[in-house]
Amino acid sequence: MHSSEKIISAPSSGPGGGGSGGSDSGSVSLDYWREDDEDCDIEVTSDYDVSGKSGGSGKSSHIDFSDSSDNDDINEPSRKNSKLHKRKFHPLHHSHQGSALSARRKRNALSARERNLRRLESNERERMRMHSLNDAFEQLREVIPHVKMERKLSKIETLTLAKNYIMALTNVICEMRGDEKPYTFLDVDCGSDSEVLETSQSQSQDLATNLNNQVSSAL
């Protein structure tokens, strides 16, 4: 429809962290721009080699910056059902409505090019943040005892095992002090991953027993 449709390619790069693959260069290549149509429709495509599991899933996002009025939310399909509409009421948030509105006005005042650049930079930061979060998960996986498996622990499994591990160690400490054990390992309360978690719980108990024995013999 618009003769001025543009294609902006975000860096086509590997996942950086998150497992394998290339690194996020962070470079942004604007295929082409014409100064005179900053507020026209813009299609932003970004192709990332997601997780490096395959040749790249070729995720692409399309940002429609067509005339950003206050009700432009409904113009963007991906936002129709987003939390923009589902977010729960929060008094604190409510009190910030004014500033949020002015923020939106400011955002709308930015040129399409500026907004696009900000968005790409924001995406890059978010990717880095998630990568560091995944690094932390990886480090956590390395220090919690678990049954060696073909596949790596999922995030929820990692967190649950870590919790069980902490509980088991706490029990050991309390037992050494002569206090009552604060935690008991009963049934697995998590529906999914039951096999792994059940194994982990018995492991946690074994671990606690072993630790206890070692400490006792050392004293």
Residues that bind DNA (CB under 7 A): 10, 15-19, 44, 46, 48, 50-51, 53-59, 61-63, 73, 76-84, 86-87, 90, 92-93, 96-97, 100, 103-104, 106-107, 119-127, 129-131, 134, 151, 154-157, 192-193
* Helices marked H in 1-96: 77-80, 83-86, 91-95
Which one, 64 or 175, has the nearer CB to DNA? 64
Q: Which residue, 127, 121, 116, 3, is CA-closest to 63?
A: 116
Q: How far is the CB of 202 from DNA (least distance, A)?
A: 19
Nearer to DNA, 100 or 176 (CB): 100
Shortest distance, position 192 Cβ to DNA, whole Å: 5
Q: Which is nearer to DNA, 2 or 96 (CB)?
A: 96
Residue 11 in contact with residue 28, Cβ under 8 Å? yes
* Tokens encoding 127: 């990717």
Residue among 17, 1, 7, 31 at smallest CA distance from 126: 17
* Nearest distance, CB of residue 41 and DNA, angstroms: 13
User: Are 4 and 37 spatial neighbours (Cβ–Cβ below 8 Å)?
Assistant: yes
